[in-house]
């Protein structure tokens, strides 16, 4: 039995190696590579998004014709299936190599705050001018998301209650939420990319700031910014 398990493990390692880029190969990482990095190196729970359908890829593949996050949300599997297991991750993206890459936020995983791209760029400049160390920043053509330490809904509620107003263009990705990660395709064209790439902080994974450290600048930057409607543009 031990020999059988050893052979199975070796076959899995060989399969995993065959799916990775050859040494020296240029070009962006595949979605499988990115998913495996997130799951096994950073220990972030990930899962595939539903993706798009139609000849031009303009429709969400889910049954909702009025989907507010077309292509960029969980469907099958559901959000609770998010995992760091490399076997499951490899199986998902081997069968669906173009599926969007989603991070399940909250719990022990990073949370995020997102806002329209123009406002986010201003906020990032302001925060760095103040000497704040930022964590990873995910950028799409329309929105940027700043990853932060996990926070609870209670903690977030207390933080926002102290504000005079919180613009509707500001979005929070906490417990039970999700975030589209690079190199997924963005809604309306273009790619999701790292504006600030994750930087390893020892065995703890990529370094993340506390939400309190960034929310003031984000609220101020997003006040009056476009994109406050109900349809999320990713």
**How confident is the model at residue 56, as a pLDDT?**
66
Domain ranges of the chain: 28-222
Of 11-15, 156-160, 168-172, 190-194, the poorest mean pLDDT is in 11-15
Query: What are the distances in angstroms from CA 92 to CA 81, 89, 113?
Result: 11, 5, 27
With CA atoms as reference, report the closest residue to 226 among 81, 95, 118: 118
Q: CB-based contacts of 49: which residues, under 8 Å, 6+ apart?
A: 71, 72, 73, 74, 75, 99, 100, 101, 102, 180, 184
For the chain, what percent of residues have pLDDT higher than 90? 45
**How confident is the model at residue 12, as a pLDDT?**
44
Mean pLDDT of 55-62: 77
106-149 pLDDT per residue, tens: 999 999 999 899 989 988 998 898 898 999 999 999 999 999 99
Q: CB-based contacts of 40: which residues, under 8 Å, 6+ apart?
A: 84, 86, 89
Beta strands in 74-229 (DSSP E): 101-105, 111-116, 137-139, 143-148, 171-173, 177-181, 193-196
């Amino acid at each position: 039995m031990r020999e059988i398990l050893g052979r199975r493990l070796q076959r899995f390692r060989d399969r995993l190696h065959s799916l990775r880029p050859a040494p020296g190969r240029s070009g962006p990482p595949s979605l499988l590579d990115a998913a495996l990095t997130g799951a096994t190196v950073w220990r972030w729970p990930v899962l595939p998004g539903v993706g798009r359908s139609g000849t031009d890829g303009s429709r969400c593949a889910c049954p909702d014709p009025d989907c507010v996050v077309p292509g960029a949300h969980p469907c099958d599997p559901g959000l609770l299936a998010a995992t760091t297991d490399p076997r499951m991750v490899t199986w998902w993206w081997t069968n669906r190599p173009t599926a969007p890459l989603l991070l399940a936020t909250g719990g022990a995983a990073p949370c995020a705050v997102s806002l329209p791209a123009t406002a986010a760029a201003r906020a990032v400049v302001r925060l760095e001018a103040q000497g704040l160390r930022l964590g990873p920043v995910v950028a799409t053509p329309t929105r940027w998301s700043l990853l932060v330490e996990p926070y609870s809904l209670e903690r977030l509620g207390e933080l926002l209650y102290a504000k005079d107003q919180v613009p509707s263009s500001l979005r929070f990705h906490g417990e039970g939420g999700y975030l589209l990660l690079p190199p997924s395709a963005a809604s309306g064209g273009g790619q999701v990319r790292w504006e600030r790439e994750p930087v390893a902080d020892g065995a703890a994974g990529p370094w993340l700031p506390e939400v309190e450290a960034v929310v003031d600048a984000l609220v101020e930057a997003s006040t009056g910014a476009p994109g406050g409607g109900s349809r999320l543009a990713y």
